[in-house]
Structure 1
Amino acid sequence: MDRCPPVARLIAGGSRDAFWAEVRRRGTPLVDDLGDGTCAVTFAVPQRPGTTEVRVLPNKLADAAHPDATTAEQLPGGWALTLRMPRDWRAGYGIAELPGAPVPATNGAAAARRERALAAVAEAGRPALGRFLDAQAAARPDPLAREHLPDGTSVVSLPDAPARPRPGGPPGTVLHGTLDDRPLWLHDPAGADPGEPLPVVVLLDGHTWLADDLPAVLDGSIARGELPPVRTVGVAAAPGDRRSRELGCDPGFVALLRDGVLRWAGGLRGLTPDPGRTVVAGQSLGGLTALYATQVAPERFGLALSQSGSFWWPNTGGVAEWLTGALPTGPRTAGVVLEVGSEEWVLGGPTLRVAGALAARGDPVRLREFRGGHDPACWRTTLVPALGDLLGRGGGR
């Protein structure tokens, strides 16, 4: 699209120093409302020695087939890329500052993945794919970004993107433990009777949510009546390939949640035994497992929150979209929320089919699309509101 106003002024002969001072003052990206429901979003990267090309890698917008779409323009003193995006867009992104030579793989596993990817495309497409893989290998957080995730990922949030619920309110208690060397944590809301059998959320990939200060967000949401008093149990993911195995419709892992994780949590605080007040929540493969748990352990797990659920599973061997095919003969749930991003072209169809299968058998199901991709930057804004929809709103404390 056309250059944003500050870049246009620079190209027309404006002061280079004034432009980069404005970038540092405003933070990145620069956002200019175009008045038609969209914004000009300009990523600006100051020049560093040795850089011959800059690519911006917004979640689900950058791909090898269209390299020009996310390649920045060289400016006096640096680089810039302007995208036109809806006002409610949010995404994590990285900046790749590339030298003229290929970027070496950081380790043997990365080199092997690169070889496999290049071997899978025609020879004519290998240079473009190679450069895209270079960009992925070189990507780093944007040091001028106004917002970051706990792992350092830069985030762009446009004016109408949903905000994450605010922390605050009386602080609850976070208890920690392990189960077979797997870290667990339990959030107990402020003012709750320790023995009261409160609703419970089993949250997969719980280590990432603890790092993102979810307990403080739960405190604020409960205090404001956006969420009823609820006990949340975070379950850390297994390392490496074990995570994929456990979250790939594994009945043994669901048994671990039911018989191990909830037993640990129930030894510390009261938990409802009602499956209709018990949620499993997860993202990606965790979103697949959240729904799967209601099918193999319906006596304990009656509610599911699936954010960007990997309902294509399995993609190698077996029957694609296996869980969707099993739903017509499975037990009904007390309620399901399915969320998928507008840029998740791989997941859109499978998620619609899951929603259709649930609705056909009479389950209460809500399907929501957010503006974004397969992205923790988006999941963190909708997790708690979706839990409130499943469990009902609280009255504050």
Structure 2
Amino acid sequence: MQTFNQWSCALALALCVSGNAMAETDNILHPGQTVSASFAQAQQPIWTVQLKTGDLVQGRLQGDVSLRLLDAQGQPVRLLIDGRDQPREFIFIADRDGAYGLRAEALATRPQATYALSLKPVISASAQKRTAAPLQSPTLRALQQQLAQGASTETFWKDRQQQGAPMVEAVEGKPGLSLVTFLWRGARNNVRVFGAPSGNHDELQRLGDSDVWFRSYLLPASARLSYQMAPDVPASDDRRMILASTQRDPLNPNRFADGSGDPFLSRSRLELPAAPAQPWVAERPGIARGTLERKVLSSKLLGNERDVYLYRPAQWQAGAKGQGLLVLFDAHAYTRQVPTPTILDNLIAEGLIPPTAALIIANPSDLSRQQELPPNPQFARFMAEELMPWARQQGLAASAARTVVAGSSYGGLASAYMGLKHPELFGNVLSMSGSYWWGHEGEEPGWLTREYVKSPKQPLRFYLQSGLFEGPKILDTNRHLRDVLLAKGYAVEQVEYPAGHDYLQWRGSLPCGLISLIGKAAQAPEACQLR
């Protein structure tokens, strides 16, 4: 191993051989040291530092001068500080082993300037690796200690098989919060939570070199979400690759959207103990049930055809006063994941809403959904000139004040657009996680909100729901629309739940929205009271 003096001599010799004047004036700069000089001096020093590949170097230059990084031959590598700009901190990473030079350069406007140069301790490449965050879970901390003493994970996994997952633990001193830990056993390379509480598809961490993969979240004790796990996601920048391995959580017996029975198509369900009840989603014995009929509607305006599901409550009387009508987008979900006919049966049986029929509108294709549901004047014409007259011919109609147009995501956006364009048909907007970030290509987001700002107030009522786990793209734009509507004088009920962009939540929001808009809002049960 070279001594410091040997290294200094070797460096000086190398610089001398290069024929560069840097060798005659070099000075060793040690991390933590501050050096100074003046351009009034006859000869300017070049400060040298020995680095290894990947070293992270940080420093500060005080004075109205520039600072350039040089290689071992004294050739310029980059300008670290331009003395004409304000910043005086610099940072760079060594791309090779060896000597580097730091050369101060005078400004034409400050030819006699003085300066002081200092380096922080160099951080090696190995030291730059993130230190694992302390384990939040008491159970995992205990397991970590057991593994350090030579134990296996068998007992841990047996407990998980019995108790299920995700693992939910109390948080000391915070009764309104729970620590929720998602788990996976034995992945080779990585694991992701598809539909995590962060709103992203987060990566799990590995506990040492064990077969335990985990990720913990501090959540409100009333949280509700559905999710999938994705082990060994292919290495790719395309996030859709996560779908190659998404599946139900094998440790969670609670399922959602499980109609196919295929673990790769269905989801797992997490509902913490304080999550509001969803009392209207299950069929009840002894109540009158409505009928559901599927019909095909062709559109000359759109040049396509689609399924429309007609729900008629028991004892529906076409043309009777006081009845309601629900016009709902995305039939693929609102006849399956969200059991709309059952929800309506139960709400009507409890007297929470009047007898209410429904038009549940399917999308001809996934592409047509992207083209039709974001504000589309031609689709609005279809709704007003073709769908609603056709529905009246089927015996399904109600006054605008008793008609609710509803949907989630793009469907929520479409509902608010339909209310603005045709308040004579749709007097109530029920929007679940509406995509109010949407804007025309090349324009700033939030187009529909700006349209409401510009338009005169219409005879509309609103129920806006969004999830605290959806991130600012949904959450902030829903709040912005709320503020605009309130400023315009609209009647708005806006609610936020600890949930994501998720049909599991929307099957609870749909009935609460109907009660708020056309039902007995004053008698809304506790399930609709969370704010």
TM-score, with length taken from structure 1: 0.82
CA drift of 1:133 comes to: 5.9
| 1:148 equivalenced with 2:291 (yes/no) | no
User: In the alignment, what sits opposite 1:2?
Assistant: 135
- Does structure 2 retain, via aligned residues, the 8 Å contact 1:227–1:384? no
User: In the alignment, what sits opposite 2:309?
Assistant: 185
The letter for the 2-side match of 1:160 is A
Partner Cα distance (2:358, 2:500) in 1 = 26
Aligned residues: 362
Q: For 1:222-241, list aligned pairs within 5 A.
A: 222-241=348-367
CA drift of 1:185 comes to: 0.8
Aligned partner of 1:11 among 134, 144, 153: 144
User: In the alignment, what sits opposite 1:38?
Assistant: 177
- Does structure 2 retain, via aligned residues, the 8 Å contact 1:203–1:282? yes
Q: For 1:29-68, list aligned pairs within 5 A.
A: 29-35=166-172, 36=174, 37-47=176-186, 51-59=188-196, 61=198, 63=200
**Matched residue SS, 1:385:** helix
- Does structure 2 retain, via aligned residues, the 8 Å contact 1:88–1:371? yes
User: In the alignment, what sits opposite 1:316?
Assistant: 441
CA drift of 1:135 comes to: 3.9
CA drift of 1:353 comes to: 2.5
CA drift of 1:9 comes to: 4.3
200 and 305 in structure 1: CA distance in 2 versus 1, 3 angstrom threshold: same
CA-to-aligned-CA distance 1:99-127 (integer Å, 9 cap, x gap): 7x626xxxxxxxxxxxxxxxxxxxxxxxx
CA drift of 1:221 comes to: 2.2
The letter for the 2-side match of 1:158 is L
Higher relative contact order (CA 8 A, sep 6+): 1
- Does structure 1 retain, via aligned residues, the 8 Å contact 2:418–2:426? yes
Aligned partner of 1:362 among 489, 494, 502: 489
CA drift of 1:282 comes to: 1.0
Aligned partner of 2:293 among 171, 175, 179: 175
CA-to-aligned-CA distance 1:178-197 (integer Å, 9 cap, x gap): 11231111222223335535
**Matched residue SS, 2:328:** strand
User: In the alignment, what sits opposite 2:474?
Assistant: 347
**Matched residue SS, 1:386:** helix
The letter for the 1-side match of 2:365 is P
The letter for the 1-side match of 2:195 is P
CA drift of 1:94 comes to: 2.0
The letter for the 2-side match of 1:102 is A
TM-score, with length taken from structure 2: 0.62
CA-to-aligned-CA distance 1:242-280 (integer Å, 9 cap, x gap): 2111112112212222333333433333421x1111111
Aligned partner of 1:199 among 316, 319, 324: 324
78 and 131 in structure 1: CA distance in 2 versus 1, 3 angstrom threshold: farther
- Does structure 1 retain, via aligned residues, the 8 Å contact 2:257–2:336? no
User: In the alignment, what sits opposite 2:500?
Assistant: 373
292 and 52 in structure 1: CA distance in 2 versus 1, 3 angstrom threshold: same
Bigger CA drift: 19-28 or 3-12? Answer: 3-12
CA drift of 1:287 comes to: 0.9
- Structure showing greater radius of gyration is 2
- Does structure 1 retain, via aligned residues, the 8 Å contact 2:457–2:488? no
CA drift of 1:30 comes to: 2.0
User: In the alignment, what sits opposite 2:163?
Assistant: 26
- Does structure 1 retain, via aligned residues, the 8 Å contact 2:374–2:438? yes
- Does structure 2 retain, via aligned residues, the 8 Å contact 1:206–1:236? yes
Q: Any unmatched runs of 5+ in structure 2?
A: 1-133, 259-264, 299-304, 524-531
The letter for the 1-side match of 2:499 is G
**Matched residue SS, 2:431:** strand
CA drift of 1:209 comes to: 0.9
Q: Any unmatched runs of 5+ in structure 1?
A: 104-129
| 1:294 equivalenced with 2:419 (yes/no) | yes
200 and 18 in structure 1: CA distance in 2 versus 1, 3 angstrom threshold: same
Identity of aligned residues (%): 28
Query: Higher helix share goes to which structure?
Result: 1
Partner Cα distance (2:152, 2:139) in 1 = 10
Partner Cα distance (2:206, 2:289) in 1 = 45
300 and 72 in structure 1: CA distance in 2 versus 1, 3 angstrom threshold: farther
Partner Cα distance (1:349, 1:237) in 2 = 28
CA RMSD of aligned residues (A): 2.7
Aligned partner of 2:432 among 304, 307, 310: 307
**Matched residue SS, 1:211:** coil
Query: Higher strand share goes to which structure?
Result: 2
**Matched residue SS, 2:225:** strand
